[in-house]
A and B are shown apart, each in its own frame.
Chain A
Amino acid sequence: MSKAWMFGENMNTDEIIPGRYNITIDPLELAKNVFCEVKPEYAKTARPGDVIVGGQNFGCGSSREHAPIAIKGSQAKCVIAPSFARIFFRNAINIGLPILECPEAAADIAEGDDIDINLSTGEIFNRTNGHRYQAQPLPDFVLKIADAGGIVNFLKTHDIQDLLA
């Protein structure tokens, strides 16, 4: 089961991981304090494969990559939100944290719902209420980065020019 954890609008990078914890880049260390002020029970009880569901402008604020890394370190399967802040979106794709833009899902899913996600098609199925949602497809060049598992892996085998080729 993939449990949904709900978060509010304009969830900023300080709320995802406060600045005082950013002194490390270890994903598991960061994950210990992820969302520690807004939802401390997440870091303590979330299980691998759970799903973060945020409000609009998810990840606003700092450019700190510690925020998506902390979420990835918590082994969340994916972040679903109606919209993402610009730098968070790029950072998540670049480090290989799956994110899906889907206003319908973000509005309909409730805390604790059991969520099934097909990352390659963007289909989201809510096992708890039986509803299906379709996320916005990612642009082709972004998919290339996502498919490689992040920009670092992409560049190990490609040139940067290949992104737009």
Chain B
Amino acid sequence: MGTLIEEIFARKAGRPVQAGEILLLDVDYIMSHDNTTPLAIKAFRDIGKPIHDKNRIVIHFDHAYPAPNILAAENHKKIIEFVKEQGLPHLLHQGVCHQVMIEEGYITPGAIVIGADSHSNTYGAMGAFGTGLGSTEIGVAWITGKCWFKVPETIRVELSGRTQPGVYAKDVMIHIAGLLGMDGGTYRSVEFGGEYIDNLPMHERIIFPNMSTEIGAKCGLIAADDVTIEYLENETPAKGQGPFERIIPVKPRYERVLEVDVSVLAPQVSCHPDVDNVKPLTEIEGLEVHEVYIGTCTNARYEDIEIVANMLKGKKVNPLVRVIVTPASDRIYRKALTNGLIDILMDAGCTVTGSGCGACIGRHGGILAPGERALTTMNRNFIGRMGSPLSEIYLASPATAAATALTGKITDPRKTLELI
């Protein structure tokens, strides 16, 4: 009996658990990437004990890959040497870690997955517990196979209705971030559910747990259902590894319930410099931008790129704006290439790059100059995140990004789509 997080933790603990308890749980996968793995290796070596189960360790190259400088290359070299030395089977360089974890079938309902990356919350979209930790704890978990967790209280976000045309899951999540605030979910599990979520395909569900990080949440969860199981069985190598359990809340006691009717929402934007500085797009329409970036673990899945390509087909983006499209994974890139979407984007004047996180963390591939403003499909708009501390980041849906790419000014996608 309990909230979704209590039910998921109870399966692992083998007994009922309640918010407030401290548990030491076995973890199913331990994720890290090129930015955070070197410190995990240091912790591992300092402790000086053997790896518990190398099959549970997954390392990605995505944050500074391909290496933009010598120091990044040294990190990659160090990690490859470690992988070789320990005989680790899962070193991946095929896209943004969270997307790859999901599309390669590592994330299944009820799994406990920790990652040395704050957006590891993303795995909650599959009905799994995913949370971000620092590198040292990742090195510790390599050795122990375990991690301690305080069972969090839960905020239930109950979403009803259906979005209007031109309004997407990203707009809904940005609206929620505005309502709860950037520390509104701190130490909490944020459980997303209701009729709207039930009807949502997997690629849009992922946005909610992904951005639960931005409101401070320990995890963001969506209970596994037919959509989850069909995705696992049809789209990932986890096919046939089931049966997958559909863990659901049972007589839950929520700390707070937030009800939102999504049918009344217009496109939303998180404005510089905080994710909870949320405005309806119409209030800031016309604001000039210098870069449009469509990428990241939040919004660069195939369907996102398809929305953008459909809106840009046969048109040209504003030539004074750098429009960068970075598919979230190689698999997505390849599908977009096969289906002609990349041609459409390039014909429209977009720059299409290999998958990775570089622009989102201001490392490479889209850095902003002082005084510049970007509209992006990212999840985070901290000051200086994409480069100069004197630049600004606005967060929005892929459709808003496409509409803005055409004009060079923040533009309502419903106009481009001729809905209004």
Interface residues of chain A, those whose CB is within 8 Å of chain B, are 10, 12, 14-15, 18-20, 22-25, 37, 56-57, 60-66, 68-69, 83, 85-87, 90-91, 94-95, 139, 141, 150-152, 155-156, 160-161, 163-164
Is B14 part of the binding interface, using a Cβ–Cβ cutoff of 8 Å?
A: no
Query: What 10 pairs across the A-B complex have the smallest Cβ distances?
Result: A91-B134, A65-B134, A57-B183, A160-B144, A23-B71, A63-B132, A63-B118, A14-B382, A19-B361, A94-B136
Q: Which residues does chain A contribute within 8 Å of B143, judged by CB atoms?
A: 155
Chain B interface residue bracket vs A: 35 or more
The residue of chain B having its C-beta at the shortest distance from the C-beta of A10 within the complex is B182
| Complex Cα gap A14–B140 (Å) | 25
State whether A63 and B383 are in contact (beta carbons under 8 Å apart), knowing that A23-B64, A83-B186, A87-B132 are contacts in the complex.
Answer: no
The residue of chain A having its C-beta at the shortest distance from the C-beta of B362 within the complex is A19
CB distance from B153 to the nearest CB of A (A): 13
| Complex Cα gap A144–B47 (Å) | 16
Could you say which of B39, B148, B274, B385 contacts A25, with CB atoms under 8 Å apart?
Answer: B39
Q: Which residues does chain B contribute within 8 Å of A68, judged by CB atoms?
A: 134
Could you say which of B48, B136, B148, B362 contacts A141, with CB atoms under 8 Å apart?
Answer: B148
State whether A57 and B182 are in contact (beta carbons under 8 Å apart), knowing that A90-B134, A94-B136, A151-B136 are contacts in the complex.
Answer: yes
CB distance from B27 to the nearest CB of A (A): 11
Q: Is the CB of B24 within 8 A of A65?
A: no
Q: Is the CB of A14 within 8 A of B385?
A: yes
CB distance from A145 to the nearest CB of B (A): 10
The residue of chain A having its C-beta at the shortest distance from the C-beta of B120 within the complex is A63
Interface residues of B in 127-181 (CB under 8 A from A): 132-137, 139-140, 143-144, 146, 148
CB distance from A86 to the nearest CB of B (A): 6
The residue of chain A having its C-beta at the shortest distance from the C-beta of B357 within the complex is A19
| Complex Cα gap A161–B143 (Å) | 12
Is B283 part of the binding interface, using a Cβ–Cβ cutoff of 8 Å?
A: no
| Complex Cα gap A10–B275 (Å) | 12
| Complex Cα gap A62–B132 (Å) | 9
Q: Which residues does chain B contribute within 8 Å of A156, judged by CB atoms?
A: 46-48
Interface residues of B in 25-50 (CB under 8 A from A): 35-36, 38-39, 42-43, 46-49
Could you say which of B36, B139, B218, B382 contacts A86, with CB atoms under 8 Å apart?
Answer: B218
Q: Is the CB of B135 within 8 A of A65?
A: yes
CB distance from B67 to the nearest CB of A (A): 10
Q: Which residues does chain A contribute within 8 Å of B98, judged by CB atoms?
A: none
CB distance from B81 to the nearest CB of A (A): 16
| Complex Cα gap A23–B69 (Å) | 10
Q: Which residues does chain A contribute within 8 Å of B35, judged by CB atoms?
A: 22, 64
Q: Which residues does chain A contribute within 8 Å of B36, judged by CB atoms?
A: 63-65
The residue of chain B having its C-beta at the shortest distance from the C-beta of A65 within the complex is B134
Q: Which residues does chain B contribute within 8 Å of A63, judged by CB atoms?
A: 36, 115-118, 120, 132-135
Q: Is the CB of A85 within 8 A of B383?
A: no
The residue of chain A having its C-beta at the shortest distance from the C-beta of B132 within the complex is A63
Interface residues of chain B, those whose CB is within 8 Å of chain A, are 22, 24, 35-36, 38-39, 42-43, 46-49, 64, 69, 71-72, 75, 115-118, 120, 132-137, 139-140, 143-144, 146, 148, 182-183, 186-187, 216, 218, 274, 361-363, 380, 382-385, 389
Could you say which of B48, B75, B134, B382 contacts A23, with CB atoms under 8 Å apart?
Answer: B75
Q: Is the CB of A151 within 8 A of B216?
A: no
Could you say which of A20, A24, A87 contacts B134, with CB atoms under 8 Å apart?
Answer: A87
| Complex Cα gap A14–B386 (Å) | 10
Q: Which residues does chain B contribute within 8 Å of A20, judged by CB atoms?
A: 362-363
| Complex Cα gap A83–B39 (Å) | 26
State whether A56 and B183 are in contact (beta carbons under 8 Å apart), knowing that A63-B133, A91-B136, A155-B143 are contacts in the complex.
Answer: yes
The residue of chain B having its C-beta at the shortest distance from the C-beta of A145 within the complex is B148
CB distance from A17 to the nearest CB of B (A): 11
CB distance from A160 to the nearest CB of B (A): 4
The residue of chain A having its C-beta at the shortest distance from the C-beta of B45 within the complex is A152
Besides the known contacts A23-B64, A63-B36, 14 further A-B residue pairs in the complex with CB atoms under 8 A apart: A10-B182, A24-B71, A37-B389, A60-B186, A61-B118, A61-B380, A65-B134, A65-B136, A69-B39, A91-B133, A94-B136, A95-B134, A151-B140, A155-B143
| Complex Cα gap A156–B139 (Å) | 13
Could you say which of A14, A25, A60 contacts B42, with CB atoms under 8 Å apart?
Answer: A25
The residue of chain B having its C-beta at the shortest distance from the C-beta of A67 within the complex is B134
Could you say which of B48, B136, B182 contacts A95, with CB atoms under 8 Å apart?
Answer: B136
| Complex Cα gap A14–B274 (Å) | 12
The residue of chain B having its C-beta at the shortest distance from the C-beta of A22 within the complex is B35
Could you say which of B24, B116, B133 contacts A164, with CB atoms under 8 Å apart?
Answer: B24
Q: Is the CB of A90 within 8 A of B133?
A: yes
CB distance from B192 to the nearest CB of A (A): 19
| Complex Cα gap A160–B46 (Å) | 15
Q: Is the CB of B186 within 8 A of A152?
A: no
